[in-house]
Every structure is written in C-alpha cells, then in structure tokens.
Amino acid sequence: MTISEDIEGSSRASSLSFEISGAIEYSTPDARLGRLSIAGRNDIDTPNFFSISSRGVVPHLTPDVIGEHTQPGGVHVALEDFIERATIGTPPIMNVPGNAPLHTFTCLPTSFITLLAPRRTPAVIAPIGNTNTAISIFTSTGFQSLSNKAYVNYAEKLHPDIIIGLADVPHGTVPGVKRIDKMGDRTEGWLTELLASEHTKSAVFAPILPIEYHSQFEYLNNLDEFADKIRGLAFYDSNLLPDIPATTAVAQLPRLSLDEPSSPHEILRQISLGMDIFTIPFIGFATDAGIALDFQFPSPSTSSEVVSTGNGSTTKSLGVDMWSTEHSTSLDPLSVSCECYACTIHHRSFIQHLLSAKEMLGWALLQIHNHYVLSKFFSFIRESIGQGTFEADCETFARYYETELPEKSGQGPRVRGYQFKTEGPGERKKNQPGWRGDLEVA
Amino acid sequence: MSTFTPAPMPSALTFELDARCSTTKARAATLTLPHGPVQLPLFMPVATQASLKGLTPEQLEATGCRLCLNNTYHLGLKPGQEVLEKVGGAHKLQGWKHNLLTDSGGFQMVSLLKLANITEDGVRFLSPHDGSPMLLTPEHSISLQNTIGSDIIMQLDDVLVTTSPDAARMREAMLRSVRWLDRCIAAHANPTTQNLFCIIQGGLDLEMRKECCEEMVARNTPGIAIGGLSGGEAKADYCKVVNTCTGLLPELKPRYVMGIGYPEDLVVSVALGADMFDCVWPTRTARFGNAITKHGVLNLRNAKYASDFGPLEDGCDCLCCRRGDGGLNVTRAFINHIAGKETVGAHLLTMHNVWYQLELMRNVRKAIIEDRYPEFLKQFFKDLHTDKAKYPVWTVDALRMVGVDLME
Ligand SMILES: [Zn+2]
Ligand SMILES: [Zn+2]
C-alpha cells in the first residue's frame, strides 16, 4: 500500500481489459463469468462487487483494514464528495501530487480499482434539475451544479481507473415526456465530450439511463459507434440489460450495476441478466443497522446450520440483528463457519456489547464481516456459473432464504454525515437525544 | 495511626530496574505482568468500554501498546458483571491478548454522577439505569475487577478534588482510603493472577501525602498509584506532590500517576520518578480532529490544512504517517477532508496519537538507559516551544528540583 505506482504516459489510453470466459451467446442474456484487468491493480473475477465509499473512505474502515480484511474488487468514489470548495476555488484534491491523485489522496491500497462517478450511490435528490450543460450535485456544503466541462477536467486530473460518464439522471423524480426526450441526447453529448478528451487515461463507462429502451433508443444505438472507445456500461436500471444491442462489441463490455439492489435475490436476478459488477448499498445499510449479514450461496454448506424448514414454509433470515440482547453472552461468530477477521477474533457477545455501548468498533467489525459475506457470495456464484448450476442454485437460494433483509431494531451509528439530508421540516431527528443519564464516555 | 504490619501478599508481577538517570529521579524498568512484559516509563491509552475509539485490537497492538485501560464503572454497567462472568473476563470479551488495567470505578462515579455521596460503607449513588439507590463498596469494586480479570486492579479510594479547601474532609478521605485498601486486600480473590495497586491520597498537603505513603507502603501491594491529581490543581503543586511521594516509595515497585497524559506532564513526571500514566486526552482529542506532534497539537479541521499533503507529523513512524513499508501515507489534507464527517478520520488520528504517546515514552526510556535524559528534556521543550521565554514556569521549576535547568 505505497503511493500508487505511476501509470506511465499521461495521455495513453486505459489499460483496462475484460475477458468473458467461454463462448458468448449474444442473443440471450445470461449469467456470465469474466475477468477485469487493469495494469497495476488486482484482477477481478466477475460477477463481483465494488465497495461504496463516502468522502473516499469505506465507512467505518481505515485503509489498512480495508486492505487486510476485505476483498472487494474496487471502490466506488463520488466526485461530489470532493468538490465542495469548487465554488470558491480549486478543490484540494486537484492539487494532490503524483499521477494517481485519487488513490494517493484516499490512501486506498494500490491493488484496488478506483471507480469515479459524479454522484454518490444512492444520491441525494436535488431540488433543481439538470441543464443542457450541467447536473445538480450535493456536496458537504450544499447543492452545486457540475458541468460536463468541469467533469472532464476533473477526470483528466484525477485519473481514476474507471470513470462513469456524466448522465442526465433525475434522481428521485419521475421525468416527464419532454424531459425524457432530452435525457438521451444530453447524456450522449456529454459522453462524446468525455471520450474526446485526450488527457483522460481512465476507462470510460457509458451510463445507461433509467428510462425505457425506446426513449434512449438513439443513444443506445449510437453506443455501437463508440464501442472501441468506451470500456464498460454503467446501468442505472438493470432492466435495460436485455435491450442492449447484443450482436456487437458492446455486448463484450463489462457491465456495472448502479441499480441499488435491495437484497441478494436482486443481485442474483441481475446476474442472470448478465450483470458483471455491482455496487451494493445494502451492505452499508445493514452495517449501520447493526445487522450481520448471514447468507451463503446457494445455501449454508454446514449441515448444522440448516434450520429445519419442515414443509418448506419457513425460510432463513438473511441477517442477524446484533442489537438483540440474546447475543450478549454468545461466544459464537457472527455467522457459523465465517472466516472473516471479526468472526475469527471476536464473537457475538463483544459486538452486541459494542453496539449497545455505541462504540465505533462495533460498526467496523460488522462492516468487515458484511463485506466478507458478499465476497464469499460472489465467489460461490462464480463457482456455480462455472459448473453450469447457476439457475438451479438460484432456485435453492430463493427457497431457502427470506426475500428481504431483516428490519433494523436498534439505532445506527451517530449520524453526523451531511449526506443524510433532511427531507423536510417535519422529519424526525436522526439522532434521538440520549437518555438524561447517558454518560459522557471517554 | 500506627504503622500497619502487613500480611505477606502475593504478587503477580516482577519489577526489574533497568537503569536510573544519574541526574533526575527518572528510571527505566521492565514490569512483567500476567499477559507479558511492558517497558517503563509507560503511557497507557484508555479503552473505556473495552474498545479504543474504533481501533481493532490488532491496530492497537500495532502501536506497540501492551497495556491499556478499561473502566470498571462502564464495564459494570455494560456488558455487566454477569455477562463478563459468562464470557470469561474482559480479555476474552475484547479479544485482547495483552495486559489490562482497570480503575476501581469510584472516581468515575463521583465525577460522572452528581448525586454520588461517600460513606464509610462505600460510594452511594443512583443507578443510571433506573434511578434506584446503589452502593459501590470496596468489596464490590474488587469483585467486579476480579471478574474482569485485569492484570492490574485498583483499590477503591475516597477521592476529593485536590483543590478542596476542607482539610478535615481531606484527611478523612485519606484515612478512609487506607481503611478501604485493607478491605480491598481482604476481598481480593485472585492475588496470584491480578495485581492490586494502592492509591496514595492526601490532596496537596505534603504531610498528609507522607502519612498516606507510609501507611500504604506498609501494606505491600505489588504496585503503587498516586491519586487525586489532575483535578485542576496548579501544576507546581502537582509536581511537589509527585516529587514528595516518589521520594517515599520503595524503589522496586512501579509508580503510577493516574490521569496524566499531556506530553509535557509526562516527561516532567518521569523526571520526578514516576513510571506509569494514563489519560483519555490523546484519544479524545483525536475525535476533535487534533493530531499530537512534537511541535504541539495541530487542529486538522482548520482550513489551512485542506491542501497540506504532508504527513500528520514529519518523520512520524506510525502506520498513518509512514511512507512505504505498509504505511498508509495519510496526509493532513485527507484528515481535513474527512474529520467530523467520517469516523475513519478519528480512527486514523487515534492511531497516530496513541503511537505518538507510546513513541514519546519509548524515546524517554532510551534516553534514560543511555543516561542522557537531561539532554532529552532540553530538546523536548525546544521542539515544543522554540523560544525559552515560552517555556511554562512550572516545568522549569519542577525540573530544577531534580537538577535540570532548562534555561541553561
Ligand atoms: Zn464474519
Ligand atoms: Zn503519525
């Protein structure tokens, strides 16, 4: 984890390559295996996932812990987390020395791939819409507009391994007919400008908009013309995947999901459509809610774990609520047979104590575990696809597990992030005031 | 009070004096505890509720820490004695392979709960859970610490702020602390695996401190703490108390001054003959974006660090600051970017600050062993204040008491 090795030649094209194993059947969308390689980074076997960062850090985890105890393929970084000072001057990240400023600034392990997107995932809804030249973003000091020109400029300087083109996505609102007409045009125009930049050595992923296929028909068809320049597709809506032109070079591009899957079942569904790489907000939601994810694909390997499902009417929970005092003296790991750092060194009793005492380490350990569970999940999925049993295994998984993650019962960590934007004056405070006698803790 | 003749007391530690400064009263020693040896002088970070501000035990270990604190009062509330009993103690609870020290819980009760009051039985207080009246006795404190299983446990003492003007009450507290020590010794179930330390009281009255030293030393505990300080007294008074007490304490036992942690206080207290210290300040201040450096404390939330791509401290060898060799290359600008917004900012600063404190004491120890502690002190204050005119008067006076003239 030293300073990122320089990628030689500042104007050289990205070294990203993606190989799909086996014969590709273009005509039918299907789960597929691939390998994403970028010079100087670890190769990633797909399907796989990228961690979601906040201000360049995976919440709760210091960079050494990420490097030693988690195995995501890369990290999703939002530009809006770094440019609050853009309205008054140059954002500090633009002054970072060296050839890989994003890596250098965020202290990420060099083996990790950085993926730069304009906005966080999920993104805070902006009150003002996008324009022909810019989108609305939400920084730590409020809303700003980010022009495509500025975005290209950031890309040229920051050199993320992968950059997602600016997209005209109306986060949170349903666009009207007139607006829909513009979305494809704007996005295509912005992508064209990004691809024309001679100083970008990042791999450009073209955004696929969360609107009907026919509404972005022209844009999607034109992607074919860019196919030699774009290095991947980023889906704001995974349902568009079957509509992507299937006969061409476009089909061989890696596909990234920004579709915010709400459960592992949803991940499996997207994989069955041919999705390769995921960003998964529910990992962080579960961690903050004090939930230890607890699922394996297609079902637990150890027989002792198999709960008696009897006639099949009961299904197993996808997670364990660690706030529950039933764990307070348990020396069991978060999930049986889990080999993550949290489960090998610690036990439920400690994690329950940490949550109850509101000690930050509780969320750090859960975050380590939850990332590990997902890494394992994807590794078994790859195995399953390789063996040709993926479809049947998905059915097993669906029968075995509940459809949604458990509800949260306890409090999350102290909410201090600006990203938790209040939705209106009537909204309840995120942090409930503590009990009068809550003690000041060192 | 007549001097007490102690029953022979087992000890679960060995103390080896490695070196003595030929000018000051500073000593270097090796203290071997049930979970391994530690090198004195030593700073101990405080993991109040069995966790140090988001650091994994592995990360704490990487700072070189081999002895840290847990607070009995907090562990008694959460997870509680019953859970600790079932889990098998605090080491097991938190996955910590090294040594632990716990306080008695009394001080925190008195300082955190305004309604606590002290009687001969113990500390009476209202339960923070439901407001019901509770009593912490010396026996209960020891029982809790026995369950926690810490390598060093502290007696319950009657603590008054040193600045209390009530001499009669101060004397009562001192004498009661001695009586409570006897009750703690009698109640201690594991003297062969846990080391009970007494706590010298007596406020700022040096005669009272002498009397207390005499009584407590006679009880022959494995280690000795100097208590009741760091409560707002003048630093000059603090130094006189430490200097007086260390002059009366047996040479071959560890001396622990409770609640001390500012770098200046540490290096001066070592010169006055103290060995062990603890304080929440380095970790607490991390939460506010502060990095401790040899040139003083930097508040990295300040906008002037937003584009400062230097390490937290030049030349620092902590995991955050280290270049290469697995170091993270954390910059001041990055901390500025995440401080107050992501807890990772506090975790990183905690790692640096704990490292700073431990490294300071490692360097202190090295200087003592090489018999150049006076020179070390001079360089330390030069780095911190640059200009001699800015040296705090109390540091200059205190070090003169032990033969070092910073103004030379
Ligand atoms: Zn685990
Ligand atoms: Zn450092």
Answer yes or no: is pLDDT of A5 > 50: no
Strands annotated E in B233-305? 255-257, 276-278, 290-293, 296-299
Q: Is A2 on the interface with B (CB under 8 A)?
A: yes
CA distance B300 to B340: 10
| pLDDT recorded at residue A434 | 31
Q: To the nearest whole number, what is the mean pLDDT of chain A?
A: 86
What's the pLDDT at A29? 65
Burial-class residue B117 by CB neighbours within 10 Å (0-12, 13-18, 19+).
Answer: exposed
Q: What are the residue ranges in chain B where pLDDT is below 50?
A: 1
Quick: pLDDT tens for A245-297: 776 788 899 999 999 999 999 999 999 999 999 999 999 999 999 999 999 99
The residue among A194, A179, A182 whose CA lies nearest residue A118 is: A194
ipTM: 0.95
Do residues B154 and B194 touch, judged by C-beta distance below 8 A?
no
Cβ pair B347:A62 closer than 8 A: yes
At A408 the pLDDT is 84
Separation between Cα atoms, residue A291 and residue A366, nearest integer Å: 7
Whether residue A425 is predicted with pLDDT greater than 50 in this model: the reply is no
Looking at residue B190, its pLDDT comes to 97
pLDDT of residue A166: 97
Q: Please give the pLDDT value at position A170.
A: 83
CA of A205 to the centre of ligand 1 (A): 33
Q: What per-residue confidence (pLDDT) applies to B121? A: 95
pLDDT value at position A259? 95
Residue whose C-alpha is closest to residue A60's, from A376, A414, A392: A414
The answer to whether residues A120 and A172 touch, using CB atoms and an 8 Å cutoff, is: no
The beta strands (E) that lie in B164-220 are given as 195-200
- Which residues, numbered 70 to 89 in chain A, qualify as contacts with chain B under a Cβ-Cβ cut-off of 8 Å? 82, 85
pLDDT at B127 (0 to 100): 78
- Give the max Cα distance, chain B: 66
Q: Crossing angle for the helix pair B343-369 and B373-385, nearest 10 degrees?
A: 150
Which pLDDT belongs to residue B140? 96
Distance from CA of B223 to the nearest CA of A (A): 25
Degrees, nearest 5: CA angle A85-A91-A96: 155
Residue B364 is predicted with a pLDDT of 98
The CA A61 to ligand 1 mean position distance, Å, reads 15
pLDDT-derived band at A441 (thresholds 50, 70, 90) equals very low
- Res A2 pLDDT > 80: no
Greater confidence (A129 vs B67) lies with B67
Predicted local distance difference test score (pLDDT) of residue A23: 55
> CB A57 to CB B329 under 8 A?
no
The annotated binding site of A for Zn(2+) is made up of 338, 340, 343, 369
Q: From CA A310, how far away is CA A330, in angstroms rounded? A: 26
DSSP sequence for A198-215: SS--SEEEEEE-SS-GGG
pLDDT attached to residue B113 = 64
- Alpha-carbon gap: A346 to the closest alpha carbon of chain B (Å): 6
Banded model confidence at residue A12, pLDDT cuts 50, 70, 90: very low
Quote the strand ranges of B179-263, DSSP E: 195-200, 223-226, 255-257
Residue B254, pLDDT score = 98
Which of B18, B103, B121, B405 is labelled catalytic?
B103
Task: Kindly tell me if the per-residue pLDDT of A51 is higher than 50.
Answer: yes
**A residues 334..363 contacting B (CB < 8 A):** 341, 345-347, 349-350, 352-354, 356-357, 359-363
User: In which residue are the tokens 């600034």 written?
Assistant: A105
